[in-house]
Chain A
Amino acid sequence: GEDVEQSLFLSVREGDSSVINCTYTDSSSTYLYWYKQEPGAGLQLLTYIFSNMDMKQDQRLTVLLNKKDKHLSLRIADTQTGDSAIYFCAESGAGNNRKLIWGLGTSLAVNP
């Protein structure tokens, strides 16, 4: 069945770049998403990419998609302590029901 996998933890120093990786199995995925969840807060949509794109950049965020390897990454440049959160990768298929299939989330710790 459909599956999305992510590493569970990542620790970086403030000012460094963070790279969070995700792999998925559904080759028919249409959109791939990154959500951020801070402690006690809801899920915030960070960015998303259409499956026919290789890269999307939005300020400090860069998303890379390797469709052949079914690999998605999120790079956060100049990581700040405010970026500490859980980052979820999710994918959806085509069609009307774009239900999201989620990874377990990567907990990013930013050390001063």
Chain B
Amino acid sequence: EPEVTQTPSHQVTQMGQEVILRCVPISNHLYFYWYRQILGQKVEFLVSFYNNEISEKSEIFDDQFSVERPDGSNFTLKIRSTKLEDSAMYFCASSGDRSSYEQYFGPGTRLTVT
């Protein structure tokens, strides 16, 4: 069964450093998403991406964040200058169309900012 994959599974970085979280969505999917889950808290939407541009973003997704689909398979989330409060689990998701019940989540990348 096709699945969304994410790398790395755990990233530790120092405050102020840039990090790039990588996702490989399901190959024929067209819509891509990033969500964040701070430890013990709820899952929060960050951004959605379609046709090589951001289609929607939340207030969390400020200028420190960016997304990119650098090639036909990867979808990345970059945090330009990490803060302690960026420590969270980051989930990538993809869907084949705008019907969200087809949205498939990856296993997540745990980001720890020290």
Q: Do A and B come from one complex?
A: no
Chain B interfacial positions (CB closer than 8 Å to A): none
